[in-house]
Amino acid sequence: MKQAKDYIIFPLDVPSEKEAKEYVRLLSDHVGMFKVGLELFIRSGPDIIRFIRSSGAARVFLDLKLHDIPATVSRAMERITELGVTFATVHCGESREMLEAAVKGSLGKVGVLGVTVLTSVSGDDILAAGFREEFSSDVSELVMKRAAMARETGCAGIVCSALEARAVRENLGKDFVTVTPGIRPSGAERNDQQRVATPALAIKNGADYLVIGRPIRDAKDPRDAAVRISEEIESAFTD
Ligand code: C5P
Query: What's the confidence (pLDDT) of residue 63?
Result: 98
Exposure b/e, 172-191, CB count within 10 A at least 16 = b: beeebbbbbbbbbbeebeee
- Check pLDDT > 80 for residue 195: no
Instruction: Assess whether pLDDT exceeds 90 at residue 168.
Output: yes
Q: Is the pLDDT of residue 238 over 80?
A: no
Chain-centroid distance, C-alpha 84: 17
Distance CA 28, CA 8 (A): 11
Distant-in-sequence, close-in-space partners of 67: CB < 8 Å, separation ≥ 6: 73, 90, 91, 93, 98
Half-sphere exposure of 42 (CA within 13 A, CB side): 7
Structural domain boundaries, residue 46: 4-238
Reply yes or no on whether the pLDDT at 43 is more than 90: yes
How many A from CA of 117 to the centre of ligand 1? 13
Where would I find the beta strands (DSSP E) of 92-234?
A: 111-115, 157-159, 177-180, 209-211
pLDDT on residue 186: 82
CB 64 within 8 A of CB 89: yes
pLDDT, mean of residues 217-227: 97
Q: Confidence class of residue 135 from pLDDT cuts 50, 70 and 90?
A: confident
171 Cβ below 6 A of ligand 1: no
Catalytic residue list = 65
Contacts of 83 (CB under 8 A, 6+ apart): 46, 49, 60, 62
Instruction: Kindly give the number of the ligand 1 atom that is closest to the alpha carbon of 11.
Output: 10
Identify the band that residue 169 occupies on the pLDDT scale cut at 50, 70 and 90. very high
118 Cβ closer than 6 Å to some ligand 1 atom = yes
**Whether residue 11 has its Cβ less than 6 Å from ligand 1:** yes
Kindly report, residue by residue over 61-110, the tens digit of the pLDDT.
999 999 999 999 999 999 999 999 999 999 998 899 999 999 999 999 99
Mutating to test ligand 1, I would choose from 211, 217, 229 the residue with most ligand atoms within 8 A of its C-beta, which is 211
CA of 99 to the centre of ligand 1 (A): 22
Q: Whose CA is nearest to atom 21 of ligand 1?
A: 119
Mean pLDDT of 179-202: 88
Buried/exposed 211-222: b ≥16 CB within 10 Å, e otherwise: bbbbbbbebeeb
Say how many Å lie between the CA of residue 210 and the centre of ligand 1: 10
Mean pLDDT, residues 118-129: 87
Q: How many domains does one find in the chain?
A: 1
pLDDT at 188: 84
**CATH number where 49 lies:** 3.20.20.70
- 30 CA to middle of ligand 1, Å? 19
